[in-house]
Amino acid sequence: MMDGSSMIGAIVDQQGSTMIVHTEQGIKKINQADVQEVIYDFQTKAKF
C-alpha cells in the first residue's frame, strides 16, 4: 500500500478504480491509487 502497510487477500473483482479484496478480516474495497504493487503468489498444501 502507498502508506507502507501490506495486505494479504484475493482480488475477487475490480469496479472502475476500486479493487474488491477478500481478506482474513472480510471484504475490503481498496482504491487502486492506494496500491503500490500487487504480488501474485500461491502455496501448495504439503502432504503429511
Query: CA-CA distances (angstroms) from residue 21 to 38, 46, 48?
Result: 12, 26, 31
Is the model's pTM score more than 0.75?
no
- In the predicted structure, residue 48 carries a pLDDT above the cut 80: no
Quick: pLDDT tens for 12-31. Answer: 999 999 999 999 999 999 99
**Predicted pLDDT at 37:** 93
Average pLDDT rounded to a whole number, residues 2-7: 88
As given in the structure block, the three cell numbers for residue 8 are 494479504
Q: Which residues, other chains included, contact 24 with Cβ-Cβ below 8 Å and sequence gap of 6+?
A: 8, 9
By three-state DSSP, how is residue 29 classified? Answer: strand
